[in-house]
Structure 1
């Protein structure tokens, strides 16, 4: 199973340890694993409903639960279980005026879905209702957006139309808002819903019935807009040819989305949230959705509707005339938010925002942030002037700047700290104290340093020690850091128990503040736009990109991408090309985290050439570095990445003083060399990156630890296990200081150390560490950490020939986290089962492991090679020697001709196994050739004290002894013994075997 690649909190640059030479076999904790909010379930009947349905209509008399109505509404004469196409109905989720929603199981794709069908008895106009359902399906199927529920399939069963949709586990926004929420949390959630509506409008669709009940927030914090049943194509999306077809053809020939659903004058929608034009029976537009969105957000922020609720007539009159109730007195919601909502609820559509995106930008915009620097600049200028006057008058008073502490009010203060503690306590009560201890002090220190730097900047300017331009650069940098801090604290509201550990590392990896005091670095930045409003606009967008970077590190890349798209949508701001380059760099980094490497390459290309064109040195350097890693690692094109190393080096040489970005470049270049098989170059770059971080105190950060881990893994991958052991000890120590003792990455580091120890012939020491690790992770909540520990334990037991225990622990590892247990993990089950004589288990694991090999598998890659190697070993353990030759020969044939040292090493392994098998088959000449080939391969690429070389020497010595060549046998066996004794435990089995053979020679 593939070992976890260190993703370095979203920045490419980490390299996974090689398959066979890594002691742990687990997949990476992916921050972009799956769509947030989409929760496929097992689909077993009787599961608890995890989707909050709309309120059902009153049940019929004598049927308090409404079950008979539901059964008749679906298929009145059919017995359970009911099928809708290929979907098995599990249970009712809810009913509305038009349809019934069921939880169903899709057996083909093994997932749970929500299926909407029509009421058959409560809907009078069957044809109209059917068209509405098809209209909803067509509308939603046109959209692919993280904030819009996905449609999987539309079908008919016995005359009943149904739509299968993404199953969302969570709450509708009206239910969610019933709990006490801060205004920032409410606004953040509605902004997601607004982005879903904006995406629909961009696709030419109007929802026409947005309200809190028609949006859900998943357990992962992702908002999904539902029920496009009243949607239709906007007028702007009706092309002339479509309109001509609609006019000239029959209604049945006209696409459903382009047919008028009702005649003009018929009211559709929910009255409390309807726009004036809908109340008047006029056509609904995107501006109507904007109105409904503002009503919904107003209600959730202030706890009441913005219009009269005394009667329908009074409410309608308020709506039609645009009479919006003022915000409640004492409300903490800023007046800017109320002003934006009031504009969005203007009676005339033309008086509202031009587009949903403009409304969202107004809701997100904090004018105070844009003008705080200007105010501070003016204040310090006044102070400086007063100081000059005082000096002239002989006054020795020292000018003072106001303390910047209040600028963090609502960002990080006592109230926010209490919110974070409460959030962690609620989501992970068993680990709350540990997590808070790892989080709160770091946030407090960051905030205190920020205030100090802000005060220092003000005083330096007031005292004439820095220019207004430098003051503006410093405060601009600090404003972006404050945005990152605010987004990090806000992210705790979206975090759950499974990614609180991500939050720990995000806090530890907040962008460095000292950059904002580095005059040389600040002066190297490009000048901001000359026009004041454009300058403020660019600054606002940069703060948005800082918030997007936080989502990159907290397993919410889709949310980050939405923020980036909101920046890119500002065409006027994009004329300032440095900002355009920054946005595309952030977009590409987020796309990598979201599992879209091809799209990321395009974004990086756009960022790179824009940055080079305008001389944006930092963006050009960082983009080239990440782009190179993307090519080599995710896109499997290391040779192309190597051809671009000169460009990467030239661009990054200009930012050598930028410790974080330059060390990331060194890390990524090391990865490129390692993937290409340039072992010495990879080691040199990683060692340089580690030294650079240590020299500047940036080694105890997630990125610093990740680079050190890469160096240790590289030593493992090149057979230098003695050098790897102290490095992994350092990694473990630093990780505990940064992330706490029970972070899931700690299990990965421990298992890597155990593998290095086992490879040095110290399996008992490795076993003791794994037993201690298992005890520790069993008390935690991470399934992946538990799986990792069990795999490490099983590997140590297998090295000690305790195959029965190893098999039990491999199987337990698979059960602990089935989704993370890969085909390579199953190949280890195959080996352990064969050693334990469990043939059926071995064959089942073999079939599952081999199923991973297909036409797209890289035959020189670790997955292919190691599965076949372990298959051969398993067959040999069962005594099926002739049969074992085939997979080993198959694996080796793929490596013929390659001089890549990794491939040479693997050929040596395969030759060693083949030599042993040929000897057991009495094919003596072939056996000796294979064993000598193995020794030559190991000597070519491995250090002289590597135990695999000793294993090959031992095999050759035993072969020579059997062939009655004692002098030759003594030479081979003596060399093997001398290697074993350098690092192995005294009772290490191969060492005992070598000494026994030498005794026979003597």
Structure 2
């Protein structure tokens, strides 16, 4: 089990900007849990030459849309990438083959209008419908990615990965049904995966756009008012039609081999019995096609056999479901849900898609912990759920075996400890912890009893019984260790209690037969007791680490590692080194963590201890890739970790954690697109494994929100932080300090959207929660005040902002807190906006001194403060001093950051303005050109306007010094006038830039 949750952030600054709007970085210093304009993408489709009007002729325009390129062709037509000049966006356009009659045109218009009203992240958006030379076309969202069919073929996928994708796609299908839409052609080729791994269902209802004379294989379209009743050709009617009409092409299709119907023929492979009978296709028909698609994706073969269409149809209508032959592991609860959805009679399927999705998402391995009693048991080794019967006497009494680990006396001790802290949220936390520990104990008892019963029935060997009982003994020790820590809770442990509970190793792993039979060598008989004692201390170290008590965790892990070395039992050495590495990492000692994890990985690999080897490699991604910023080494560890996780095959917990660490590594190294993709994958895995209301899910969502913000997708970031706040309240209750972290992050997101009123509401709520939980002098209260001040500053409420900043600075100083420099920088921003350059310089210099003492003279955050100092010096006319500080800042940032990083814009802007003011307009223009390229990529109109204004001034000055050209000067004045209009709208932070623009325009 993992030693720490996914990392998120509690930024200390909301929109904390320096001169020219420079962002003072929002650092994740509060290491706690709480860390879509849709992407434009290419719509992929399989190529079928000859089925489009003229596959080689690309029209220049389709309606108002400018055609860019031909993307591919399918059974219904050809798909183009195009540009919408009215809305300035890229779209995908499907040009439907065959000429449209009035009925087809009306049907498509209705379908498109209905689709345009459906807004769901798992459905490709339809924007418009039109006509080109008698042929209909549909303009849709431009989706870059691949079909689910291609995704499945490209690599071996675990059943959990496949199920997670189909659950998300199914929600889109359900949303369409709720809106009154039926797909009628759902299949893996009609579901796209965007670069973030999110599925999007496409081609809703478009099969119905084909005219009566254009019906393709297996479909017939009715006319006029009956268009809503989409009927298919009955199988019995096909053969006479062939004879009478002489449709040789259709006759040939009927004899095609159907071993890969989904690839060869498309629709027939996914047609329900009612379609073969010629009856109405409705939402239950879509449900059937969804189940066929998921069955095929999981098993690698279709659910109904058939060497041709007639044979297939006969099996579908009769409900002759074949036994899968691929040997792939598919859980019984999934198989049961699919079998019902594949019923030949629509009335015997699930009531709707929502019911089917609930059944598919009801993983017993996940929900077992939430059972109120022992009525549902795991049939170990078979993956099925069975109703419990009376157990033999020798298999009863499992609950009594937990005495001393979790019982009423232990519960009373934990409750007393939590309440003794006096925290206002203690009772709610106790309720959450009590419920979680009770569920854990019940799950342990159920699995313990069922393990015994399976052996008694002859379903499990004595060897397997020993392995499972040893695993259960370890989980009991883990439970006892975690309860020990909670029973000694101080205020810090009480705050982390829910996280401590979440870090408990999952007892369901004791049902994973393949994982248990790893071949790890057993200790010698005379060493078994000592090995058990050392593992007990490691369990306690894990619990202390989860509770945030790092010194005690280190003490235990270090002693256990020494004893494991002395004993010489290498699997135990691997376990101890892993624990020690995790503690070192949490305590900020990355170099020591790397060494310990290296040893853990090597010892685990040598002894086939795959779980420890995988965990060690995953943690190296965090230590080496994120903490030490060695991206290439981090990626190599990620490849190793991925291979180990794949070999285990059933651990989405580890797979999700790997993606979280990759996402955080990519954020640290500036690869934000890759970070977003990794964190989305983590969120899918965690949600599928743990459900929505889990701390790991909230933390992964928070990290994703942070990555989206850095990507400039502020609306998407705010949406993720809104959901993270909702989940955090559900997990912790409304008064817990963790809720303040979530509110703080949401305030940051609102600030970047310019929704400062909303940001202020969230910051004030965060302050109220923290003051009640932690007291008014706590540095986290100061952090929220610091953020509140930046939002007030953005609104021009300078007096209120200054009052909050002074309180924040006082709080940080009392605690000797590292965020003091951030607050000093924000105070400088305020003075700068108010036109008080001497006060601004004093505040910036205080921030620079604090950062230099803490981080060194040329560290990243020190250099950002130095840039602010340089800008203030420039405003005071001290150009030599300003140039010195700005050049030093720029050089340090260029060493730390990629050339395209937005932070570089600020010293470049300041340096360009300083040089232009000194009369070296040519050199100033070069710096300003670089600054403009970086500013254009940011969603900050004030910054862009400032750079444009300074660049126009520099160009005018350059021409003025060498006999000015009238048109050049006139153009410069126009550029400054345009920039000034933006600067006046941008707020007080850009007041100085606006005053310089006004002075330029007022000059002769």
Into which bin does the TM-score normalised by the smaller protein fall? Answer: 0.5 to 0.7
Aligned to 2:337: none
Task: Kindly indicate whether the alpha-carbon contact (under 8 Å) linking 1:885 and 1:914 is maintained by their aligned counterparts in 2.
Answer: yes
Aligned to 1:847: 846
Aligned to 1:416: 410
Match of 2:494 among 500, 520, 526: 500
Task: Kindly indicate whether the alpha-carbon contact (under 8 Å) linking 2:481 and 2:543 is maintained by their aligned counterparts in 1.
Answer: yes
Deviation at 1:699, TM superposition (A): 5.3
How is 1:234-313 mapped onto 2 (pairs within 5 angstroms)?
none
Counterpart CA distance in 2 for 1:638 and 1:872 is: 32
Deviation at 1:427, TM superposition (A): 1.2
Counterpart CA distance in 1 for 2:910 and 2:409 is: 64
Match of 1:769 among 742, 762, 765: 762
Counterpart CA distance in 2 for 1:883 and 1:804 is: 30
Counterpart CA distance in 2 for 1:585 and 1:951 is: 52
Aligned to 2:772: 779
- Pair 13,26 (structure 1): closer, same or farther in 2 beyond 3 Å: closer
Match of 1:548 among 524, 530, 541: 541
- Pair 398,621 (structure 1): closer, same or farther in 2 beyond 3 Å: closer
Task: Kindly indicate whether the alpha-carbon contact (under 8 Å) linking 2:759 and 2:791 is maintained by their aligned counterparts in 1.
Answer: yes
Aligned to 1:805: 800
Aligned to 1:819: 816
**1:829 equivalent in alignment to 2:822:** no
Aligned to 1:28: 30
- Pair 823,874 (structure 1): closer, same or farther in 2 beyond 3 Å: farther
What secondary structure, in the 3-state scheme, does the structure 2 residue paired with 1:495 have?
coil
How is 1:946-961 mapped onto 2 (pairs within 5 angstroms)?
948-949=943-944, 952-953=947-948
Q: Give deviations 1:732-767, integer Å, cap 9, x for gaps.
A: 222222233333343333333222322222223222
Task: Kindly indicate whether the alpha-carbon contact (under 8 Å) linking 1:421 and 1:436 is maintained by their aligned counterparts in 2.
Answer: yes
What secondary structure, in the 3-state scheme, does the structure 2 residue paired with 1:511 have?
coil
Counterpart CA distance in 2 for 1:855 and 1:433 is: 39
Task: Kindly indicate whether the alpha-carbon contact (under 8 Å) linking 2:683 and 2:700 is maintained by their aligned counterparts in 1.
Answer: yes
- Pair 24,814 (structure 1): closer, same or farther in 2 beyond 3 Å: farther
**1:933 equivalent in alignment to 2:930:** yes
Aligned to 1:311: none
Deviation at 1:605, TM superposition (A): 1.8
Counterpart CA distance in 2 for 1:708 and 1:976 is: 39
Counterpart CA distance in 2 for 1:609 and 1:858 is: 39
Match of 1:481 among 467, 470, 475: 475
Counterpart CA distance in 2 for 1:12 and 1:728 is: 15
What secondary structure, in the 3-state scheme, does the structure 2 residue paired with 1:732 have?
helix
Counterpart CA distance in 2 for 1:492 and 1:766 is: 35
Counterpart CA distance in 2 for 1:591 and 1:642 is: 21
- Pair 559,9 (structure 1): closer, same or farther in 2 beyond 3 Å: same
Aligned to 1:444: 438
What secondary structure, in the 3-state scheme, does the structure 2 residue paired with 1:900 have?
coil
Deviation at 1:590, TM superposition (A): 1.4
Q: Give deviations 1:934-953, integer Å, cap 9, x for gaps.
A: 221244xx367887546645
Q: Give deviations 1:164-186, integer Å, cap 9, x for gaps.
A: xxxxxxxxxxxxxxxxxxxxxxx
Counterpart CA distance in 2 for 1:898 and 1:848 is: 20
Counterpart CA distance in 1 for 2:748 and 2:25 is: 4
How is 1:373-522 mapped onto 2 (pairs within 5 angstroms)?
399-400=392-393, 401-522=395-516
What secondary structure, in the 3-state scheme, does the structure 1 residue paired with 2:734 have?
coil
Counterpart CA distance in 2 for 1:672 and 1:600 is: 16
Counterpart CA distance in 2 for 1:881 and 1:753 is: 40
Counterpart CA distance in 2 for 1:722 and 1:777 is: 26
Deviation at 1:626, TM superposition (A): 1.2
Aligned to 1:791: 786
What secondary structure, in the 3-state scheme, does the structure 2 residue paired with 1:761 have?
coil
Deviation at 1:912, TM superposition (A): 3.0
Match of 1:905 among 902, 914, 919: 902
- Pair 720,975 (structure 1): closer, same or farther in 2 beyond 3 Å: farther
Deviation at 1:547, TM superposition (A): 2.0
Aligned to 2:681: 688
Aligned to 1:73: none
CA-based RMSD = 4.2
- Pair 517,961 (structure 1): closer, same or farther in 2 beyond 3 Å: farther
Task: Kindly indicate whether the alpha-carbon contact (under 8 Å) linking 1:670 and 1:681 is maintained by their aligned counterparts in 2.
Answer: yes
Deviation at 1:549, TM superposition (A): 0.5
- Pair 839,740 (structure 1): closer, same or farther in 2 beyond 3 Å: farther
Counterpart CA distance in 2 for 1:780 and 1:398 is: 48
Aligned to 1:239: none
Normalization by structure 2: what TM-score? 0.55
- Pair 471,871 (structure 1): closer, same or farther in 2 beyond 3 Å: farther
Aligned to 2:571: 578
Counterpart CA distance in 2 for 1:29 and 1:897 is: 27
Deviation at 1:609, TM superposition (A): 1.2
Match of 1:742 among 725, 735, 758: 735
Aligned to 2:866: 868
Task: Kindly indicate whether the alpha-carbon contact (under 8 Å) linking 1:23 and 1:795 is maintained by their aligned counterparts in 2.
Answer: no
- Pair 11,579 (structure 1): closer, same or farther in 2 beyond 3 Å: farther
Counterpart CA distance in 2 for 1:428 and 1:540 is: 35
What secondary structure, in the 3-state scheme, does the structure 2 residue paired with 1:801 have?
coil
Aligned to 2:889: 891
Counterpart CA distance in 2 for 1:695 and 1:397 is: 33
Q: Give deviations 1:625-684, integer Å, cap 9, x for gaps.
A: 212321234345445434555444434443453112222122222333333333332222
Counterpart CA distance in 2 for 1:806 and 1:755 is: 16
What secondary structure, in the 3-state scheme, does the structure 1 residue paired with 2:861 have?
helix
How is 1:76-87 mapped onto 2 (pairs within 5 angstroms)?
none
How is 1:712-751 mapped onto 2 (pairs within 5 angstroms)?
712-751=705-744
- Pair 950,626 (structure 1): closer, same or farther in 2 beyond 3 Å: farther
Task: Kindly indicate whether the alpha-carbon contact (under 8 Å) linking 2:779 and 2:817 is maintained by their aligned counterparts in 1.
Answer: yes
Normalization by structure 1: what TM-score? 0.55
Q: How many residues align?
A: 620
Counterpart CA distance in 2 for 1:777 and 1:566 is: 37
Deviation at 1:436, TM superposition (A): 2.2
Task: Kindly indicate whether the alpha-carbon contact (under 8 Å) linking 1:568 and 1:574 is maintained by their aligned counterparts in 2.
Answer: no
Q: Give deviations 1:904-961, integer Å, cap 9, x for gaps.
A: 322223223444556677765555444332221244xx36788754664576579889
